[in-house]
Amino acid sequence: MIKMAGHKIGFNTAVAIVIANMIGTGVFTSLGFQVLGIESGFALLALWIVGGILALCGALTYGEISSAFPQSGGEYNYLSKLYHPAIGFISGWVSVSVGFAAPIAAAAVALGQYVTKIYPHVNATVLSLTVIGVITIVHSVNLKAGSLFQRVFTIVKVVCIVMFIGFGLFHVPDHTVNFSPGAGAWKDIFSSGFAVSLIYVTYAYSGWNAATYISGEIENSKKNLPRALITGTLVVMVIYTALNFVFLYSVPIPELKGVLEVGYLSANKIFGVQVGQFMSLVIALLLVSTISAMVLAGPRVMQSMGNDIKGLRFFAISNKNKVPYVAIIFQSAIAVTLVLTSSFQSLITYVGFTLNLFTFLTVLGIFILRYKFKHVETSYKTILYPLTPIVFLLIILYILIHIMIDKPVESLFGLGTVLLGLVFYFITNKKSDHKNGENISEHSPAAD
């Protein structure tokens, strides 16, 4: 467990981290891709409700697992204990190479696109890289400063989105809006397009587990972590459904097709061009909070791996304020590379597919926890167990199967990343796994 001197992350900051990780690139960009395969307003809103139920089921399940194993590291920590250190390592590898760096890159790219819609002379790539650089510096210096930065930007983000939703609901659209559950809507819901679109929704909701990556730094984590996961997820579920209702209510579906800057279109319809442009800048500013949350959380996975694995010890290097600045800089370097090399749509599909593999394994681990680690004391039990994890597992399996069928290239890249992680596991001094083994024994029934 990471020992922190001085500042600890409180419940409010933990909730802010969850909300900031979730509300970001996906909700402001993905609707334009969803309407390519679905045209029913009812089915499109159902996407976000199903995504919210999925995230809530995941958060409820993770709450119990995180209560049993409160160290920082997220899935790396959980899967190492529940399955095998190799599975945990691969999960950590995915988090390092994909889980945080790629969404940071996607959020930075989206931020650049929103700004250049208003100021075409601004170089979107340079702006994206600058934002990543500044946030990296802030979080590399001091945890307390980083926490304050996170809380302020998250509060601004939520207030602005609530205002956007409020004005949007009073807007009178100049097109016909239909959210009735007709025959066509149900056909869309049970279509392959619905399953594929869910990958964008799960990406938008990804972050509901963010606080687990820094649980070792959360005050009274056994109590506050499950509460933060559940509270943050419920807040975002309501916001996402309302926000997408406003997008669909204010902009005709044909105009949304294939558009990245959905918020920009909606703001122009609701407020007019001038005020709409200002709101688009506000949306761009909100993405700063998303980038910040991921820059804060991701390196804690690397730090945990560095503490456990000799070949990755450099990730555990911290400054005098106990901040893992080497891991932060390394993660941001990967994000910068992705900004310069990747397309947005394929990046989202690739990230969503790969991350869902490990959230699936983690939620499945609740059954192992109840059987193999039943003597471990937990301050929280999964609500409606076993229905909660089963619902999560069935929906994720449904998504993964359809993604492999409809998006084979991105799926193969995801599986390739996993296999590459296995190769690195054997390269990075496998003998150092004994430290992980010691951690596992500390939480075994025999130890208790």
Q: Between 186 and 290, whose confidence is greater?
A: 186
Whole-angstrom distance, CA of residue 311 vs CA of residue 429:
6
Assign 150 a pLDDT band (cuts: 50, 70, 90): low
Percent of the chain at pLDDT exceeding 70: 87
Asked whether residue 428 carries a pLDDT value surpassing 50, the answer given is yes
Q: What local confidence, expressed as pLDDT, does residue 29 receive? A: 77
Three-state secondary structure along the chain?
CCCCCCCCECHHHHHHHHHHHHCCHHHHHCHHHHCCCCCCHHHHHHHHHHHHHHHHHHHHHHHHHHHHCCCCCCHHHHHHHHCCHHHHHHHHHHHHHHHCHHHHHHHHHHHHHHHHHHCCCCCHHHHHHHHHHHHHHHHHHCHHHHHHHHHHHHHHHHHHHHHHHHHHHHCCCCCCCCCCCCHHHHHHHCCHHHHHHHHHHHHHHCCCCHHHHHHHHECCHHHHHHHHHHHHHHHHHHHHHHHHHHHHHHCCHHHHCCCCCHHHHHHHHHHCHHHHHHHHHHHHHHHHHHHHHHHHHHHHHHHHHHHHCHHHHHHHCCCCCCCCHHHHHHHHHHHHHHHHHCCHHHHHHHHHHHHHHHHHHHHHHHHHHHHHCCCCCCCCCCCCCCHHHHHHHHHHHHHHHHHHHHCHHHHHHHHHHHHHHHHHHHHCCHHHHHHHHHHHHHCCCCCC
Q: What is the pTM of this model?
A: 0.74
- Of the candidates 146, 161, 135, the one whose C-alpha atom is nearest the C-alpha of residue 13 is 146
Sketch out the chain's domains with CATH numbers: 11-442 (1.20.1740.10)
Q: What local confidence, expressed as pLDDT, does residue 83 receive? A: 92
Q: What local confidence, expressed as pLDDT, does residue 232 receive? A: 84
Asked whether residue 314 carries a pLDDT value surpassing 80, the answer given is no
Burial class (CB in 10 A: 0-12, 13-18, 19+), 418: middle
Q: What local confidence, expressed as pLDDT, does residue 427 receive? A: 79
Q: What local confidence, expressed as pLDDT, does residue 125 receive? A: 87
Q: What local confidence, expressed as pLDDT, does residue 297 receive? A: 72
Assign 445 a pLDDT band (cuts: 50, 70, 90): very low
Residue 218 phi, psi (nearest 5): -95, 135
Residue range 206-251, pLDDT digits in tens: 777 765 666 666 777 777 777 787 888 888 888 888 888 998 888 8
Asked whether residue 442 carries a pLDDT value surpassing 60, the answer given is no
Q: Between 339 and 16, whose confidence is greater?
A: 339
Residue range 48-86, pLDDT digits in tens: 989 888 988 988 888 888 878 877 667 888 898 899 888
Worst-scoring range by mean pLDDT, 72-86, 300-314, 335-349?
300-314
Residue range 371-403, pLDDT digits in tens: 888 777 777 788 888 999 999 999 999 889 988
Asked whether residue 360 carries a pLDDT value surpassing 90, the answer given is yes
Assign 149 a pLDDT band (cuts: 50, 70, 90): low
Assign 435 a pLDDT band (cuts: 50, 70, 90): very low
Asked whether residue 274 carries a pLDDT value surpassing 70, the answer given is yes
Burial class (CB in 10 A: 0-12, 13-18, 19+), 377: exposed
Q: What local confidence, expressed as pLDDT, does residue 256 receive? A: 86
Residue range 30-47, pLDDT digits in tens: 888 888 878 888 888 899
Q: What local confidence, expressed as pLDDT, does residue 134 receive? A: 86
CA-atom Rg of the chain in angstroms: 21
Mean of the per-residue pLDDT values of the chain: 79
